[in-house]
Structure 1
Amino acid sequence: MTLHGMKTLLAAGAATLALTPAFAEPADYILATASTGGTYYPVGVALATLTKVKLQPGEEIGMSAISSAGSGENIRLLRENEAQFAILQGLFGYYAATGTGPLEADGPQEELRSVTMLWQNVEHFILDSDRVDTGTIADFAGLTGEPMALGRRNSGTIGSNAAILGGFDVDIYADYELIEGGYGPSAESLQNGQSVGISTPAGVPVGAVSQLFASVGDSVTLLNFTPEQMTQADGGRQLWTEYVIEAGTYPGQDEAVTTIAQPNFLATRADLPDENVYLITKTIYENLPFLQAIHPATQAMAIEQAIAGLPLPLHPGAIQYYEEVGVEIPDRLRP
């Protein structure tokens, strides 16, 4: 073969390699969620099941969902590679990106990436009806010194409650007698009189809240937020927005309740193979009806909303999929 012919062959081979798609790497991933009584866990199970069904047979990519204490613990699990995916609350994503709040000592979590927005985390502040005056969050903020169930220690739930109530000059750790626990135990504490109020932020409807209202009826009240209170609660973070819980969402709920919500999103580690994250992202959006049949919180998912409000840069594998389907990626979401 002539030198010219060899150069031509090598050039053709290089072009062929460039056009050959990357191959997925076999892997069994852990997806960290939260307590089993909320929304993170069933949605996480749905995501893991979808991955196993669609990707394990051909690509050898599996996923298992585990319960956890929520976003705060999930960031640690991702950082230490004890989980490779996690559902995170928008606020904790903000803390991770900026190295602020409860993550200040750890600094910015540069090893974390976003995959997709999932659904809005709707704040459910509920009080013993005997303690209700205005029917708004002001009633909750005014009951300092009382026992309140605001989530597990180090969870995203207790972190978001601390941030929201901080906007009303309440330090939950100093001003309340905290009863720590997941959503089910929190609801039970209000039902049996151990607490006078609870907060269970999750996608609507929240199983523990449905059970609470079915059991005790109008002896508990789901609180509203006024526009001014929404601004106070957000504290300039641009995370929380208005959300209306329609009448009839919960047993005995005769009127709509105006509350606030922040985004939840799927996060991953930056060092995962691009092709694996690409395939997982693609699988999610090509099978939305499957997810939406598992939990109604995911019914708001759409490719048009996939990157809305994400607090962390996107993983390159997710960027690849979004660009293929025409989603414009802003510079702030590029790693």
Structure 2
Amino acid sequence: MKKALLLILAALSLLLSGCIERREFITIATASAGGTYYPIGVGLGNLWTEILTEEKVKATGQSSAGSVENIQLLKNGEAKVAILQGLIGAQAYEGRGGNFEGRPYKELRSISMLWSNVEHFVLMEKEITTGTISDIDTKSFSVGPQASGTEQSTLVIMEGIGLTKKNIKPEYLGYDDTISAMRDGRLDGGSLPAGIPVSSVMDMTASGVKASVLDVTDEQLDSINSIFNTWFRFVIPAGTYTGIDKEINTIAQPNFLATTTEIDEELVYKLTKTIYENLDKVHQIHNSAKEIQLESALNGLPAPLHIGAYKYFVEAGLEVPEHLIPPEANEAKK
């Protein structure tokens, strides 16, 4: 009896361990529950869990402090996937600027661009001369709250056009406070990056504040990308904002899906494939998720693709730029 019991327990143990080994738990690092990262992360997790049932995938979104913490969660193995701001991803991968100076994270890999973080440099019309972002020179201008992602991206853009805080009268305001200060005549303009339409910019134009959104030239875009190559052209359609009846030629950086070289090639291939073969469901996750499209999947990505994502995009017929081809793919060819 004792021998039979031991055999049964051993068999159960093997069976249970087999089940545990087959189940794939994926934590997706996002940001605070009140923003856009969290619902999109949760939605992607639900989609992967639903579609990849035979692969025993269980994916869940996890709230966090945002992109900077998400890098650390990936490094520590506390998250397998994360949503990151393009600039933060570039700084982490290259080990330049922000929280990552001198500590490059070369194991970081991109999976896909998700939606665009569109730059809105707004300025009072009486201060506009060229109509481009260079017009903020000498003006009182909000660069975003101190230590925020807005401030970091604004300062890189300014550096790209040859400006620093010394060239402006800097303020450190949130979006609504920026528009209030402009309305009251206390501020000339500010930086308000977000997905379109931005509610504070809608408020600015609808409430009669005599201000507009500045253009970014091709030369300015190239110069900005020479610092961190993560911005791409974005055209805001005419009529998006009340009273602005022309297209606004601005730029955007990606909010993108990231992982590390530690994650299995086949798993990332399936995660990527599931997104792009179920876009009808993806677009129902959140309004910003409607921007997820195969043709824009590589826009602005700051780190090479994960080998699994690369495999899917090549199969899907995308031409992958040289800087996004993972080193692992080149090594496999040797």
TM bucket (normalised to shorter chain) is 0.7 to 0.9
Count of aligned pairs:
306
Q: Which residue number in structure 1 is paired with residue 154 of structure 2? A: 161
Q: Is it true that 1:74 corresponds to 2:66 in the alignment? A: no
Q: Is it true that 1:179 corresponds to 2:179 in the alignment? A: no
In the TM superposition, what are the counterparts of 1:27-46 in structure 2 within 5 Å?
27-33=25-31, 36=34, 40=37, 43-46=40-43
Give the conservation status (yes or no) of the 8 Å contact 1:205–1:250.
Answer: yes
Write the letter of the residue equivalent to 1:25: R
Q: Is it true that 1:197 corresponds to 2:185 in the alignment? A: no
Q: Is it true that 1:209 corresponds to 2:201 in the alignment? A: yes
Q: 1:164: Cα distance to partner?
A: 0.6
Q: Structure 1 regions of 5+ residues with no counterpart?
A: 1-22
Using the alignment, how far apart are the partners of 2:270 and 2:199 within structure 1? Answer: 31
Q: 1:149: Cα distance to partner?
A: 4.2
- The structure 2 residue matched to 1:59, chosen from 48, 56, 70, is 56
Give the conservation status (yes or no) of the 8 Å contact 1:120–1:203.
Answer: yes
Between the aligned residues of both structures, percent identity stands at 38
Give the conservation status (yes or no) of the 8 Å contact 1:90–1:263.
Answer: yes
Q: Is it true that 1:219 corresponds to 2:183 in the alignment? A: no
Give the conservation status (yes or no) of the 8 Å contact 2:113–2:257.
Answer: yes
Moved over 6 A (4+): none
Q: Which residue number in structure 2 is paired with residue 50 of structure 1? A: 47
TM-score in terms of structure 1 length: 0.73
Using the alignment, how far apart are the partners of 2:77 and 2:267 within structure 1? Answer: 16
Give the conservation status (yes or no) of the 8 Å contact 2:29–2:70.
Answer: no
What is the CA deviation profile of residues 235-267 of structure 1, one whole-angstrom value per residue up to 9, with x for unaligned ones?
A: 465543432211111233222212122333211
Q: Relative contact order: is structure 1 or structure 2 higher (C-alpha 8 Å, sep ≥ 6)?
A: 1
Using the alignment, how far apart are the partners of 1:280 and 1:317 within structure 2? Answer: 9
Q: 1:114: Cα distance to partner?
A: 1.0
What secondary structure sits across from 2:275 in the alignment? helix
Using the alignment, how far apart are the partners of 1:127 and 1:196 within structure 2? Answer: 6
Worse-matched range after superposition: 240-249 or 107-116: 240-249
Give the conservation status (yes or no) of the 8 Å contact 1:132–1:139.
Answer: yes
Give the conservation status (yes or no) of the 8 Å contact 2:108–2:261.
Answer: yes
Q: Is it true that 1:303 corresponds to 2:302 in the alignment? A: no
Q: Is it true that 1:108 corresponds to 2:104 in the alignment? A: yes
Q: 1:45: Cα distance to partner?
A: 4.6
Q: 1:284: Cα distance to partner?
A: 0.9
Give the conservation status (yes or no) of the 8 Å contact 1:127–1:223.
Answer: yes
Q: Is it true that 1:141 corresponds to 2:112 in the alignment? A: no
Using the alignment, how far apart are the partners of 1:274 and 1:231 within structure 2? Answer: 33
C-alpha change, 1:194 and 1:27, in structure 2 (3 Å) is farther
Using the alignment, how far apart are the partners of 2:295 and 2:256 within structure 1? Answer: 15
What secondary structure sits across from 2:243 in the alignment? coil
Q: Which residue number in structure 1 is paired with residue 235 of structure 2? A: 244
Q: Which residue number in structure 1 is paired with residue 332 of structure 2? A: none
Using the alignment, how far apart are the partners of 1:321 and 1:224 within structure 2? Answer: 35
Q: 1:93: Cα distance to partner?
A: 2.7
Write the letter of the residue equivalent to 2:215: N
Q: Which residue number in structure 1 is paired with residue 16 of structure 2? A: none
Q: Which residue number in structure 2 is paired with residue 272 of structure 1? A: 263
Q: 1:55: Cα distance to partner?
A: 4.3
Using the alignment, how far apart are the partners of 1:222 and 1:204 within structure 2? Answer: 12
Q: 1:332: Cα distance to partner?
A: 3.4
What is the CA deviation profile of residues 152-180 of structure 1, one whole-angstrom value per residue up to 9, with x for unaligned ones?
A: 5152x322211111123322389543425
Write the letter of the residue equivalent to 1:310: L
What is the CA deviation profile of residues 74-121 of structure 1, one whole-angstrom value per residue up to 9, with x for unaligned ones?
A: 333433445433222333333222222225534210232111122333
Give the conservation status (yes or no) of the 8 Å contact 1:78–1:84.
Answer: yes
Using the alignment, how far apart are the partners of 2:300 and 2:126 within structure 1? Answer: 38
Q: Is it true that 1:99 corresponds to 2:120 in the alignment? A: no
Q: 1:27: Cα distance to partner?
A: 1.4
C-alpha change, 1:95 and 1:125, in structure 2 (3 Å) is same
Using the alignment, how far apart are the partners of 1:44 and 1:151 within structure 2? Answer: 25
Write the letter of the residue equivalent to 2:122: I
What secondary structure sits across from 1:313 in the alignment? coil
Give the conservation status (yes or no) of the 8 Å contact 2:253–2:300.
Answer: no
Q: Which residue number in structure 2 is paired with residue 283 of structure 1? A: 274
C-alpha change, 1:245 and 1:96, in structure 2 (3 Å) is same
Using the alignment, how far apart are the partners of 1:198 and 1:286 within structure 2? Answer: 39
Give the conservation status (yes or no) of the 8 Å contact 2:133–2:216.
Answer: yes
